[in-house]
Amino acid sequence: MVESMVETTQDNIMIEFTFGLDEPEVEDSERLKFARKLLQELRQLDEVERVDRAENLNPEAGGKPGFETLLGILTAEVSFKNFKIFLEFLGDRLQDKLIKGKIKVGDNEVEFEVKSHQELAEFEKTALNLITAMSGESHVKESGTTDRG
């Protein structure tokens, strides 16, 4: 009984992903077009709580924070229980493209950079452990699977 309460609490952890393509040869217009398409697709996913263009919190002189968006960068919020589904979706859409970003749980942030399905799978395992540690839970094993026994 206590185990399922812990899992429910862990499932309710919200993870904020800020990410985008980081391919030097991709023009800004292509990056923006790709982000717009991905934004529409992510907004249709039930597993994504919220998604929008990332705001520039550190604008250049004369700019106002919160009024500028970063070109081709998105921020999505997903629950811990939908984390794997979200990463699989990204992997399918961003095949062999360099993805850079960060995940945030509470006040803790971790940056990442992946380019292949293999790197994404490795990142998933590492991220599960980091998210669990950042949230104060201890039910994720080194393999990246949830300990349910």
CATH of the domain at 29: 3.30.70
- State how far the alpha carbon of 23 is from the alpha carbons of 37, 51, 96, 110, in Å: 17, 22, 10, 20
In a domain, 143, yes or no: no
- For residue 43, being part of any structural domain is answered with yes
pLDDT at residue 39 in the model = 92
Assigned domain for 142 exists: no
pLDDT (tens, 9 = 90+) of the chain, 149 residues, equals: 323 233 335 667 888 888 887 777 878 888 888 889 999 999 999 999 999 988 765 555 555 444 445 667 889 999 988 988 998 898 888 777 888 888 888 888 888 898 888 888 888 888 888 887 776 644 433 333 344 34
131 inside domain: yes
Q: pLDDT value at position 140?
A: 38
Q: How many CB atoms lie within 10 A of CB 132?
A: 21
Give domain status of residue 109, yes or no. yes
Does the residue 51 lie in any domain?
A: yes
- Which residues, including other chains, have CB under 8 Å from residue 30's CB and lie 6 or more apart? none
DSSP 3-state of 116:
coil
Whether pTM > 0.75 for this model: the answer is: no
> Which pLDDT score is estimated for 66?
45
Domain of 83 in residue numbering reads as 2-135
In the chain, the number of structural domains is: 1
pLDDT at 20: 84
In a domain, 79, yes or no: yes
